[in-house]
Amino acid sequence: MQIINNYIDGDTVEIKSERFSDVFNPSTGKAIAKVGLSSDKEVDTAVASSKIAFEKWSKMTSLKRSRILNKFRILLEDNAEEMAYLISKEHGKVHSDALGEVTRGIEVVEFACGAPHLLKGEMTENVGTDIDSYSVRQPLGVVAGITPFNFPAMVPMWMFPMALACGNTFVLKPSERDPSVVMFYAKLMTKAGFPDGVFNVVQGDKVAVDRLLSHPDVSAISFVGSTPIAKYIYHTGALHGKRVQSLGGAKNHMVVMPDADMEGAVNGLMGAAYGSAGERCMAISVVVAVGEEIAEKLKKALKEQISKLKIGPGSDPEAEMGPLVTHQHLERVKEYIDSGIEQGAELVVDGRGYKSEKKDCEKGFFMGASLFDNVTPEMKIYKEEIFGPVLSMVRVNSFEEAVQLINSHEFGNGTTIYTRDGDSARSFSNSIQVGMVGVNIPIPVPMAFHSFGGWKASLFGVNHMHGIDGIRFYTRLKTITTRWPKGIRNDNEFIMPTM
């Protein structure tokens, strides 16, 4: 069986900790590889490599760094299909979705290629008599990323291209559930011309995470995952004096107003709720129907569309939804559905009994799409992030009630409203306490040149991912004030400079 190891100093390095985790193909339910779980010492080796590489990489001109990133971007585009195949094989998402993930990741690399412009500081001439002041942005040093299973290619690319463009070196700890795609593009980075040690990969579990959080030579940590872990990462990293950017969970709502384009709303909901089997931090898991009439229409239309949903392995070109990532997660999602029934929600469509009839997929981690109606805010299925193909409908009587419902939730990652009324859309956008907002857009994920991040319990730290916030996070600001004397002066000055 294939063993997946670390990538340090431009080459694969065997993990000698003798601890391993199985990597499954979710479509078949079979273990297809083992990934090594690094020890503290192996993490230290990667960090030491990146620390040495930082000395030269940080002094390289930003233009040269950008050119290497651009070569990497071209290699990513040339190998996008192969990367999508690896994602589908280990994560389970359908090929078209996996290819879309790669594309969104490449867009951040493309944005990072413009870092020479973004790294420019500010200058003010003559702030005092013959005194000038200017600012520069300088890299932090060795920085690390800890990334989730649901976007094994894209989320790492939210982090390291920005970090490298700014002159930092990077250590990545990917999810142990689907680690192969990261190893694939680590090799592409070496091919593109990144010096050894600039980008290192350490496989592992909590042992590796805790060592990165405590390591004295790691200056900053980026994380994406569940809120409980995000809190842990943020507090532990801060305790060790690190800059931390920690993105947590979500419970994203779509408000459907009485004047909405019903067909557009339903089509948007199908992809936003059930795409990637709901394993997205930006998945719409709650639809808020304003008025009984719109609720009944939504219920009928969604039930009909769910019956047509094509479920299959990621390799099936006709499949619209693949399996869940592990058997354990499949059982966890089923428990949420059980909870919804017990607490009084109406299960309109039950996906628990789905079994794939595809060859070799009988033991895959498949589940059908599920739909609940008459969900209320005190229910577990409303309060918690399920991370599966389960959509809950909440009925409200007014726009104001919808806004209050969303603002009262502990998460504030993404939300959207479907309406033809500009005043409602503007009021919603301005008053909603959520970091990313859509209007007639099912999944409001910003493009690479804007920044990604939520509010409330969906983000711990100040800076969002990529965009200009990525530059801010991976650099520290230095302001320099200068005066060049016109001649030799013998008088001493003890007062603060003033105008």
Q: Which residues are catalytic?
A: 281
Kindly state the DSSP code that residue 201 receives in the 8-state scheme: E
* Inter-residue long-range contacts of 112-117, CB under 8 Å, 24+ positions, other chains counted: 112/66, 112/69, 112/161, 112/162, 112/164, 112/165, 112/470, 113/66, 113/69, 113/70, 113/73, 113/165, 114/66, 115/62, 115/65, 115/66, 115/69, 115/162, 115/165, 115/166, 115/471, 116/62, 116/63, 116/66
The tokens describing 407, both together, are 């603002």
- Please answer whether residues 65 and 198 qualify as being in contact, where contact means their C-beta atoms are separated by less than 8 angstroms: no
Question: Cα dist. 286→6, 272, 282 in Å?
Answer: 39, 10, 11
The DSSP line for 79-133 is THHHHHHHHHHHH---HHHHHHHHHHHHHHHHHHTTHHHHT---EEEEEETTEEE
Question: Cα dist. 406→30, 417, 431 in Å?
Answer: 40, 11, 10
CB atoms within 10 A of CB 40: 16
Backbone phi, psi, residue 351, to 5°: -95, 5
- Please answer whether residues 416 and 284 qualify as being in contact, where contact means their C-beta atoms are separated by less than 8 angstroms: yes
List of residues 6+ apart from 295 with CB closer than 8 A: 289, 373, 393, 395
Closest by Cα among 252, 273, 277 to 413: 252
Write down the residue that tokens 């991912």 correspond to. 465
Kindly state the DSSP code that residue 198 receives in the 8-state scheme: S
User: Please, which residues bridge with residue 2 across strands?
Assistant: 33
Closest by Cα among 461, 462, 453, 460 to 434: 453
User: Please, which residues bridge with residue 450 across strands?
Assistant: none
List of residues 6+ apart from 338 with CB closer than 8 A: none
The DSSP line for 380-447 is HHHHS---SSEEEEEEESSHHHHHHHHHTSSEESEEEEE-S-HHHHHHHHHH---SEEEES-SS-PPP
- Cα end-to-end distance, the chain, whole Å: 73
Rounded to an integer, what is the distance from CA 344 to the centroid of its chain?
33
